[in-house]
Amino acid sequence: MKLIPVIIIVVVLLFSTLGFFSGLVYISPSKLGVITAKFGSSKAPGKVLASEGEIGIRENILGAGYHWIAPFMYEVKRYPVVVVPANKIGVITAKFGKKIKGDRYLALENEIGIRKRVLGPGTYRLNPFGYTISLENQTYISAGNVGVLINSQKGGVEQNKVLPAGIHFINPKEYKVEIVPIGLNEYTLSSKKVVRITDAMLRDEESPVEYSNKNIITGGEMLFPSKDGFNAGIDVTVLWELDPKRAISAVTKYGNVTELHDRVINPMLNSAARNEGSKYTAKALIQGDTRTKFQETFTKTLSEYTKNAPLKIVAALPRKIYVPVKIQLPIMQAQLKQEEMLTNREIEETSKIEAKLEEQKKYVKQEIEQVKADTKVLVLSIRAETEKEVGEYEAATRLQTLRIDLETQKIKTRIIDILSTAKADVIRIRGQKEAEVKKLYIDAFGGVEHYNSYIFATEALPKDKLPIQIIHSGEGTFWTDLKMTDKSQLKILSDFNRIKKAMQLRK
C-alpha cells in the first residue's frame, strides 16, 4: 500500500515528461515555423490570419531555435525563409492589413496590397500566408548616365530628383527609370548605299550612262539641293551634350533619347543642311576651302536651331559630301590627271636622282680603291719600319748580351783568384797554427822525446792492446805500494800525467 503514492507520482512525471518533449519544436536557421491554432473562436469573414484566441493560421511565426508548443492546441509547419540575392530586390505584397486610403497605389506598413518599401539583398522571415515576395532586378546606372524617375502612379516625371551612376533599390511598381546619357554623346548618320566611281570610269573605259541624270548622286543619308540645282548628300556626325538637370526636361518633353534624336536632332539636321547647302554649288561642296567653311556654318546653324531644346550641340561634322556622278567624275578625272602628272614628275626626278646616285657610287668605288692602295703602301711602310726597328733592337740586345757575358767572365775569374788566394792563405795559416800547436805540445811534454812517446802511444800502438797494468793498493797509501812496480811502469805513469796536462792545455 505504501508503493501506490510513489507509483502515481512516477506515472504523473512520466506523462509530464512525454508531454513536454512531444511539444518541443526545433526550427533550423533556413526555415521558419507557421503556427496553426486548433481551438478558438472563428475569424471574421475575409480575415486572412488569425489573432490570439482565434482558430486558424496565426500571424506570428517561430524563428530559428527550440520552442515548446502545446501539441494538442497548436500545429507547427516549417517553410523556407525568404532569400533576396545580391543582384535583386524583393517587392512585398501584403495579403492582410488596412485598406489603402485615397488614390495611392502602393501600401504603407500595416496596409494590404503592394508595399512601397522593398527588401534589399538578405534573408527575411515573413509568413508565407501573409506576404508574397516577388524578386525584381536592381536598377543599375552605368557611368556617364543618369536615371530619370517616371512615376508609375501619377504618370509623370519626378522633376526634383535624378539617380546618379550606381546601384539603386527602386520599386518597379512605383517608378520606371529612364536611363539618359549625359556629357558628350555622338549621333551619326551614314549612307547605307553608296555608288562608287570605278577605275574604268576614271579612264573613260566605261561610260556612266545610268548616272547621266543630274539628280542621281553617289550617296548621302541626308539630301539637300545645291545652289546650282543639283542634289547633294551628306553623312554627318553630331556631337551633343546633355547635363543632369536638362535630362529631366528631355524625358518630360520627349520621353527617351531615341525620341530626342528623331524629334530634335534629325529635323534640325535636315533644316540646317538645306539652308547651308543651298549656299554652295555642287562643285564647291567637294573642292577647296568651301568644305571647311560649310562645316563651320553648318555647326553654327544647327546650334541656333536647337537652342530651345534640352540638349546642346557641340559640333556637327560632315564626314562625307556626295554630289552627282556627272559632276564628281570630271573632278576626279582632273585630279587623276594632276596626280599622274605629279607622278611622272616624281618619276623623272627619281631617275635623275638614280643617275646621280650611280655616279656617286662610281666615285665612291674609285675612292675605295684609292684608299685600299694607300692603305697597302702604308702597311708596307709600317712593316719595313717595324722590321728595321726590330733588327736594331735585336743587334743592340745581342751586343748588350755579349757585354754582360764578358763582365760575367771577368767576375768569375776574379772569384777564382780570390778563392785561390784564400785557399792558399788557409793552408798557410793552418800550417802555422798546426806548427804552433805542435810546439805547444812539445813544450807541454817537456821535449821532443816525450812528445814522440805520446804520439807513439796514441797513434802507433793499437788502442785495444795498450799495455796498462792496474796497481792495486791495499792497506796504506798508493805510494807504499810502488815497490811492487818496476821503473818502466812508473815512467809510463809519469808520461800519462804529462799527456793529461797537455790535453787540458790543448782544450
Taking only the tens place, the pLDDT of each residue in 391-449 is 888 888 888 888 888 888 888 888 888 888 888 888 888 888 888 877 887 887 777 77
Name which residue leads in pLDDT, 54 or 501: 54
Confidence (pLDDT) at 18:
47
Q: How much is the pLDDT for 478?
A: 47
Q: Tell me which residue of 166, 211, 164, 190 sits closest to 325, measured CA to CA.
A: 211
Per-residue pLDDT at 495: 57
Q: Looking at residue 137, what is its pLDDT?
A: 94
DSSP string, 139-162: EEE-TTEEEEEEETTT-SEEEEEE
Total residues belonging to the chain: 507
- pLDDT tens for 126-181 read 989 989 999 999 999 998 888 888 888 777 888 888 888 899 999 998 888 888 88
Report how far apart, in Å, the C-alpha atoms of 324 and of each of 207, 282, 292, 331 are: 14, 8, 20, 11
d(CA 205, CA 438): 149
Q: What is the pLDDT of residues 111-126, one digit of tens each?
A: 899 998 999 999 999 9
Q: Which amino acid is at 347?
A: I
The CATH number of the structural domain formed by 185-193+218-323 is: 3.30.479.30
Contacts of residue 248, defined as CB under 8 A and 6 or more positions apart, other chains included, come to 148, 157, 158, 159, 162
Residue ranges per structural domain of the chain:
22-79, 81-178, 185-193+218-323
One DSSP character per residue, 196-218 reads: PPPHHHHTTSS--GGG-STT-BS
CB 35 within 8 A of CB 62: yes
The whole-angstrom separation of Cα 274 and Cα 304 is 14
Q: 32 to each of 24, 62, 131, 430, 485, how far by Cα in Å? A: 15, 6, 14, 136, 152
Instruction: Give the pLDDT band (50/70/90) at residue 482.
Output: very low
- What is the Rg, in whole angstroms, of the alpha carbon atoms belonging to the chain? 69
The answer to whether 151 touches 158, Cβ cutoff 8 Å, is: yes
Q: How far is CA 139 from CA 83, 115, 248, in A?
A: 19, 18, 18
Kindly report the number of other CB atoms within 10 A of residue 276's CB atom.
23
Higher-scoring residue by pLDDT: 504, 211: 504
* Tens-digit pLDDT profile for residues 198-216: 666 666 656 654 555 545 5
Q: Identify which has the larger pLDDT, 251 or 216.
A: 251
Q: Nearest Cα to 139, choosing from 162, 107, 115?
A: 162
Cβ-based neighbours of 87, under 8 Å, separated by 6 or more? 121, 137, 138
Eight-state DSSP code of residue 38: S
Q: Are 82 and 124 in contact (CB under 8 A)?
A: yes
Q: How far apart are CA 177 and CA 318, in angstroms?
A: 34
pTM of the model: 0.52
pLDDT of residue 465: 53
Span 337-377, pLDDT tens digits: 677 677 778 888 888 888 888 888 888 888 888 888 888 88
Average pLDDT over residues 10-18: 51
Task: Identify residue 380 by its one-letter amino acid code.
Answer: L
> What's the chain's average pLDDT?
78
In order, the DSSP letters of 271-289 are HHHHHHHTTS-HHHHTSTT
What is residue 462's predicted lDDT score, i.e. its pLDDT?
59
pLDDT digits (tens, 9 = 90+) for 314-329: 888 888 887 777 666 6
Say if CB 196 and CB 208 are below 8 A apart. no
Residue whose C-alpha is closest to residue 303's, from 279, 324, 276: 276
Q: Which residues contact 147 (CB under 8 A, 6 or more apart)?
A: 139, 141, 162, 163, 164, 168, 170, 177, 178, 179, 180
The DSSP bridge partners found for residue 12 are none
CA–CA dist 133, 130 (Å, integer): 10
